[in-house]
Amino acid sequence: MIADAHESESRAQAALLSAYIASATFWLIVTTAVGVLLSFKFPFPDLATSPYLSFGRLRPIHTNGTFYGFASVALCGLSIYIAARSSGTGIFAKPVAWLSLALMNVAAIAGTVTLDLGMNDGSQEYREWLWWVRLIFLIGVGCSAVVTAGTVARRAERPIYIANWYTLGGFTFVTVLWIVALIPSYQVGVGQVSLQAFYMHNAVGMWFTFVALGAAYYSLPKLLNRPIYSYSLGVLAFWTNAVFYPVIGAHHYEFSPLPWWLQTLAIVFSVGMLIPVFAGTANLLLTTRGGWDIVRRSYALPFFAAGIAYYFLGSSQGTFEALRTAQAYWHFTSFTVGHSHATMYGFITFIIWGAVYALLPLATGRQPSLLLTGVHFWFALVGVTLYVLVLSIGGTLQGIEWASGNPFINSVEAAAPFWLARAVAGTMMFIAHLVFAYNVYVMTVPQRRAAAAKAQPA
Ligand code: HEM
């Protein structure tokens, strides 16, 4: 009887995690196909000129879709699964978890279609979806938050495992963030600029960073079969991230009409961010110490190694980039786009992949091919590294041309070869995503067939 209940809970968890990851993978493919098209429009501006395929409509489809359709859905699914496994209990309110997935998908479909029809809520980056679409998404994430918190509340032991600190912190903050981003009276005047700084940077730092680190804090010890190096270092990184991050968004608006003191505070706190970044990186790396032969033989650990390296590199780069002298050259250039992909792709996306390869086979009992996982890893890693490298060089040349007061076209000519190289890098990344989608198919669909076969009466 108890064994049956346990078996049915495990099957329910596997089905839920599979559905979240399959859905996130669908959005990864759609939105990064759009990313590849966007990247080819730089060297070939006359490519695909219909209004439905115009740069202005496709760019927010790519950014909102990768953020919310792909990364948020994947991280919600992983957070719910991790809450149950680390708390030694079943998932709380499973129908709400399914409702959450449905609502986030309705929002992603409605957001993508309305943006492509030219309907948007203005130029506020990462919240161009119409307000009612964002409201649907907020309710969807809220449902995932309730399920995760409800599951942790049923935990077998009193202490809350460090991974759940991070995921619950992420859910708390993202709810505040999305509510603030929806209140109409906040969306006017200069106040809108500071609110946008708060929203856009915290979507990355207080949502994606928190939940991705939560996934790493659960998966790494599990894969290496050893405890996390230091619980205290994890807590220190958590609280310093929560103190410094909320204020740093204004570093995107240096030399703007925002108060000078706010810009300076954002720079000082950007330097303060070195504390959680160093503490978090050290904690995760020290957890793997002496286990590098396991890393080499594992499907998932190389993704974590790359993700942690990019966490360190991308975040430290962000601190340096926030200084006024650096902003004077790099602001508005392609350098920033390189930085965005170092963090959202090199860090967040690689950690998501590591957690998927670590946890999905455990849930479903199906392993992908080691060769194809290697192909995914290397195409994605070489692709993103090339992407970041060429945009860093191209963006710097752009900035130097602007600062020299030369004609604008000179900056376009200087960056053009690097934009072409970015399109090649983006194509490599997209091939990696197709391989990942096949691996997800192997890890999920046969499991569902096996479950269906089991459910059939003999
Ligand atoms: C095949 C993979 C990808 C390609 C080819 C690609 C390409 C692009 C392109 C061409 C842009 C517009 C850049 C510009 O306006 O100058 C862009 C922007 C952006 N993409 Fe991607 N992308 C990819 C994957 C991703 C993923 C997986 C994420 C997040 C999880 C992401 C997040 C972003 C963000 C945040 C921006 C805005 C950058 C900024 O304004 O600083 N991208 N991407």
Other CB atoms within a 10 A radius of the CB of residue 42 amount to 19
Question: CA geometry: angle at 437 spanning 100 and 433, to 5°?
Answer: 105
Could you tell me the two tokens for 78? 């992983």
- Judge whether 376 lies within some domain: no
Kindly give the confidence (pLDDT) of every residue in the chain, 458 residues in length, as a single tens digit, with 9 standing for 90 and above: 567 778 889 999 999 999 999 999 999 999 999 999 999 999 999 999 999 999 999 999 999 999 999 999 999 999 999 999 999 999 999 999 999 999 999 999 999 999 999 999 887 889 999 999 999 999 999 999 999 999 999 998 888 899 999 999 999 999 999 898 888 888 888 888 888 989 999 999 899 999 999 999 999 999 998 999 999 999 999 999 999 998 899 999 999 989 999 999 999 999 999 999 999 999 999 998 877 777 778 889 999 999 999 999 999 999 999 999 999 999 999 999 999 999 999 999 999 999 999 999 999 999 999 999 999 999 999 999 999 999 999 999 999 999 999 999 999 999 999 999 999 999 999 999 999 999 999 999 865 555 555 544 43
Residue with the nearest Cα to atom 24 of ligand 1? Answer: 32
3-state secondary structure string across 142-191? HHHHHHHHHHHHCCCCCCCCHHHHHHHHHHHHHHHHHHHHHCHHHCCHHH
Distance 38 CA to ligand 1 centre (A): 9
Q: Answer whether 251's CB lies under 8 Å from 326's CB.
A: no
Determine how many CB atoms are found less than 10 A away from the CB of residue 427: 15
For residue 353, give both structure tokens.
Answer: 């992949």
Helix ranges, 42-88 (H): 55-64, 73-87
113 C-alpha to ligand 1 centroid (Å)? 19
Q: Which residue lies with its CA nearest to atom 20 of ligand 1?
A: 63
Which amino acid is located at 381 in the chain?
Answer: L
C-alpha distances in Å from residue 183, one per residue of 166, 177, 180, 414: 26, 10, 6, 42
Q: How far is the CA of 345 from the centre of ligand 1 (A)?
A: 9
Where does 241-381 show beta strands of DSSP type E? none
What pTM does this model have? 0.95
Question: In sequence order, what are the residues at sequence separation of 6 or more whose Cβ sits closer than 8 angstroms to the Cβ of residue 343?
Answer: 204, 310, 311, 314, 315, 318
How far apart are alpha carbons 191 and 196 in whole angstroms? 9
Q: Which of 345, 384, 388, 433 to mutate to test the pocket of ligand 1 (most atoms within 8 A of CB)?
A: 345
How many whole angstroms from 383 Cα to the centroid of ligand 1? 13
- Asked whether residue 275 is assigned to any structural domain, the reply reads no
The answer to whether the beta carbons of residues 376 and 356 sit under 8 Å apart is no
Burial class (CB in 10 A: 0-12, 13-18, 19+), 297: exposed
HSE-up (13 A, CA, CB side) for residue 406: 13
Q: How far is the CA of 236 from the centre of ligand 1 (A)?
A: 31
pLDDT of residue 2: 66
Q: Tell how far the Cα of 198 is from the centroid of ligand 1, in angstroms.
A: 20
If we measure between CA atoms, which residue out of 161, 170, 163, 155 comes closest to residue 202?
170
CA–CA distance, 126 with 149 (Å, rounded to integer): 26
Ligand 1 centre distance from Cα of residue 83 (Å): 30
Closest atom of ligand 1 to 38 CA is: 10
Nearest-atom index, ligand 1, CA of 429? 1
The length of the chain in residues reads: 458
Q: Count Cα neighbours of 144 within 13 Å in the Cβ-side half-sphere.
A: 32
Which residue owns the Cα nearest ligand 1 atom 33? 63
Give the ligand 1 atom nearest the CA of 42: 10
Q: What is the longest distance spanned by two Cα atoms in the chain? A: 79
* Among protein residues, the one whose CA lies closest to atom 22 of ligand 1: 35
Q: Which residue owns the Cα nearest ligand 1 atom 43?
A: 35
Cα of 416 vs centre of ligand 1, distance in Å, is 17
Closest ligand 1 atom number to CA of residue 41: 10
Q: Cα(233)–Cα(415) distance, rounded to whole angstroms?
A: 42
User: What is the separation, in whole angstroms, between the first and last Cα of the chain?
Assistant: 20
Residue owning tokens 């998501």: 352
Instruction: Please name the residue whose Cα sits nearest to atom 13 of ligand 1.
Output: 337
Residue 134 falls within a domain, yes or no? Answer: yes
Q: 86 is in which domain, residue-wise? A: 1-158
What's the confidence (pLDDT) of residue 449?
53
Cα–chain center distance at 377: 17
Residue 5 has what pLDDT? 78
Number of domain units in the chain: 1
**Atom 10 in ligand 1: which residue has the minimum CA distance?**
39
201: its two tokens: 């940077």
Q: What count of other Cβ atoms lies within 10 Å of the Cβ of residue 22? A: 19
What letter would DSSP give residue 256?
S
With respect to residue 88, please indicate whether it lies within any of the assigned structural domains. Answer: yes
Question: 35 C-alpha vs ligand 1 centroid, how far in Å?
Answer: 6
Nearest CA to ligand 1 atom 32: 63
Packing angle between helix 231-244 and helix 260-272, nearest 10 degrees? 170
The C-alpha angle 326, 327, 333, rounded to 5 degrees, equals 110
How far, in Å, from the CA of 412 to the mean position of ligand 1? 19
From residue 278, give the alpha-carbon distance in Å to each of 204, 206, 343.
18, 17, 15
Please choose from 340, 351, 353, 429 the residue to mutate so as to test ligand 1's pocket, defined by most ligand atoms within 8 A of CB. Answer: 340
**Is residue 289 a contact partner of residue 227, using CB atoms and an 8 Å limit?**
no
CA-proximal residue: ligand 1, atom 7 (nearest): 35
Pocket test for ligand 1, best of 63, 201, 390, 422 (most atoms within 8 A of CB): 63
pLDDT of residue 454: 52
Whether 130 maps to a domain, the answer reads yes
Which residues approach ligand 1 with their CB closer than 6 A?
A: 32, 35-36, 38-39, 59, 62-63, 66, 71, 334, 336-337, 340-341, 344-345, 348-349, 426, 429-430
Q: Which atom of ligand 1 is nearest to the CA of 59?
A: 12
**Is 26 part of a structural domain of the chain?**
yes
Per DSSP, 349 falls in state I
pLDDT at 81: 98
In this structure, is residue 137 part of a structural domain? yes
